[in-house]
Structure 1
Amino acid sequence: MTPVVLGALALLLAGPAPVLLARRAWPTRVPRAAIVLWQALALSAVLAALGAGLALGMDVLFRPQRGAVEIIVHSLVTALTCVVAVRLVWAWAKVAIRTRSRRRRHRALVDLLARPDRELARGDLTVPGIRILAEQTPFAYCLPGVRDSRVVVSSGALDQLDSDELAAVLTHELAHLRARHDLVLEAFIALREAFPRFVRSRTTLEQSRLLIEMLADDAARRRVGAPPVARALVTLAATSAPTGGLAAGGHGTLARVRRMAEPAGSHRLLAAATYLAAAALVVVPTVTIAIPWLNRLADLLP
């Protein structure tokens, strides 16, 4: 029974649940909590799928009468589940290594071509070590890193954005760097690449990327207000971040501008309910299904 329940839960969390959640508007009101919910959804789906495979493979231990065919089939399922787990770990390592390699090369190129400023100040905001590229197309992005992060802007952005708009963009990029939003995206990218192409879905990754941008937008709005943020997003709408970077413009611009037109609110009850739902997605299946099965398995083992 345990493999069936876990398998059904994995299918539900990997299929209908992300689609239904992506269609809802309320997650954009609490982007931080919504990101945690998406993480919990993905983690629960993976754990349920792996748990279903292991439970089915080891269920043969619970039966006193075991045929040769049954033992072989269940052993193969267990082996396949272990392969999937290894593939997940490998995908995460591959994405991390590849992203950092590309980011390192891009950082070296930026340092070679850009004009470094010791700092760029706008009002009470100071961005040390910023890089300015001589390009009339307005863009701004950041390259995250532990000690060698970069904020890169074009001369066109400096010319076309007024003081408040530029402060909004710089605050947006600094929010990405300080919160290490790139690590959140890496996890979702690795999860997507771990599965075959015919079962991949971009819903979770795209929604998480949009929520991360909204979270950085909120940091900018708290500093300069909504109108400068909206105007800056429109100015930078045609640009996007390089691989491994995070940019203020380009992704979900229309939805983000519309969101700036809505009044900012704390939505504490909604955030608390979202965090509670995220915790329940991980805790409830573990307590009600996995732990009793593990206890039963422990009783049978010598």
Structure 2
Amino acid sequence: MNVAAPVFAALALVLTGPVPMALSRATWTHRVPRAALVLWQAIALAAVLSAFGSGLAIASQLLVPGPDGRPTTSPAREIDALGVPLWSLYVIVFALTVLVGARLIYTGIRVGVRTRRRRAQHRMLVDLLDRSDSPVARTRSSYVRVLDTPEPIAYCLPGVRRRVVLSEGTFTSLGDPELRAVLAHERSHLRARHDLVLEFFTAVHEAFPRFVRSASALGAVALLVELLADDSAVRTTGPTPLARALATCANSVAPQGALGLGGTTTLLRVQRLATPAAPRRIAVIAYLSSVAILVVPTIAVALPWLVELERLLRS
């Protein structure tokens, strides 16, 4: 039991700092974005579970046997058994764990409310400015909105009342194959609810202190989400129309809460379309690593803790 808490704490620190930093610099993830995204999710979830595991392991140390042999939470008896310095350290670590849990709940709610409020405001705006009846508009989907601007713009607003927002410049700059690629890309975001994945990572990122979290993790995950949508568009139109659409809409900037086609990673995404598919073993290794990161440490550290807790409860 004395080993469980520091092991959990070390796992939480490693999985929120060094591991995300190293993975965000890897380039093999671009070739297997789905497997890489699963790996990212496993790392984030394992970090959260490890942080809670450390706090629970500390809490179990505070359960000292009482006069009848049963575990007690009396501070006086805990201090007598552990000593003031060790008892204080355990209480502080447990309080920090509770704080991380509270911050995770708070940031999850805050990120969700903030994002949905922005989307609702922007959705109302694009509905008011909609020019779907424009002569250049070549789509009649009920959730597509057209803005009166010559710059090529393409992004989507996920949610129950979803929207795909295009500009008149997008229609005049792109041919039909490229336009289909754009719509396939944005529909992939909406169908797969990539926005929920980004919300989860944003909440976890903001919940942990700045000195341990990796700032590059969010950017890496956002790129993988775009690569997944690119792959969906390629299956619909092929790589060439999508590459042309990406180059045309490279300067398109999506508002906060939206998922856009363009951005600073456009060149990397276009170059990726010309690279051969990755060997299947890379994805298999990524999936197996996800399972190992999430399951193996948890079992190795949690089982001794559960056995000790059961012994205390039965004593």
Structure number with larger C-alpha Rg: 2
Instruction: Could you tell me which runs of 5 or more consecutive residues in structure 2 were left unpaired when the two chains were aligned.
Output: 66-77
Could you tell which deviates more after superposition, 190-199 or 106-115? 190-199
Alignment partner of 1:277 is 2:289: yes
> Could you tell me how far 1:93 is from its partner in structure 2?
0.7
Whole-Å separation in 2 of the counterparts to 1:253 and 1:218: 14
The one-character-per-residue Cα deviations of 1:121-148 (angstroms, maximum 9, x if unpaired) are 67xxx743310000001010000012x1
The one-character-per-residue Cα deviations of 1:192-234 (angstroms, maximum 9, x if unpaired) are 2223344442221111100000000001111111111111111
Whole-Å separation in 1 of the counterparts to 2:261 and 2:150: 17
> Could you tell me how far 1:269 is from its partner in structure 2?
2.7
Given residue 284 of structure 2, which amino acid in structure 1 is its aligned partner?
Answer: A
Given residue 301 of structure 2, which amino acid in structure 1 is its aligned partner?
Answer: I
Work out whether residues 177 and 241 of structure 2, in 8 Å CA contact, stay in contact via their aligned partners in 1: yes
1:197-212 equivalences under 5 Å are 197-212=210-225
Residue number among 5, 23, 26 corresponding to 2:25 in the alignment? 23
Whole-Å separation in 2 of the counterparts to 1:173 and 1:246: 8
Instruction: Could you tell me which runs of 5 or more consecutive residues in structure 1 were left unpaired when the two chains were aligned.
Output: none
Alignment partner of 1:158 is 2:171: yes
Alignment partner of 1:140 is 2:154: yes
Q: SS at 1:152's partner residue?
A: strand
Relative contact order, CA 8 A, sep 6+: which one is greater?
A: 2
Given residue 159 of structure 2, which amino acid in structure 1 is its aligned partner?
Answer: G
Could you tell which deviates more after superposition, 23-32 or 95-104? 23-32
1:143-222 equivalences under 5 Å are 143-146=157-160, 148-222=161-235
Structure 1 residues 26 and 62 mapped into 2: Cα distance closer, same or farther (>3 Å)?
farther
Q: SS at 2:165's partner residue?
A: strand
The one-character-per-residue Cα deviations of 1:158-211 (angstroms, maximum 9, x if unpaired) are 000111111111100000000000000001111122233444422211111000
1:39-50 equivalences under 5 Å are 39-50=41-52
Whole-Å separation in 1 of the counterparts to 2:141 and 2:229: 16
Q: SS at 1:128's partner residue?
A: coil
Q: C-alpha root-mean-square deviation of aligned residues, in Å? A: 2.1
Given residue 40 of structure 1, which amino acid in structure 2 is its aligned partner?
Answer: A
Given residue 115 of structure 1, which amino acid in structure 2 is its aligned partner?
Answer: R
Equivalent residue for 2:69? Answer: none
The one-character-per-residue Cα deviations of 1:44-78 (angstroms, maximum 9, x if unpaired) are 12221222233234324369932244333312321
Aligned residues: 296
Q: SS at 1:301's partner residue?
A: helix
Work out whether residues 16 and 213 of structure 2, in 8 Å CA contact, stay in contact via their aligned partners in 1: no
* TM-score, normalised with respect to structure 2: 0.88
Whole-Å separation in 1 of the counterparts to 2:24 and 2:212: 18
Given residue 105 of structure 1, which amino acid in structure 2 is its aligned partner?
Answer: Q
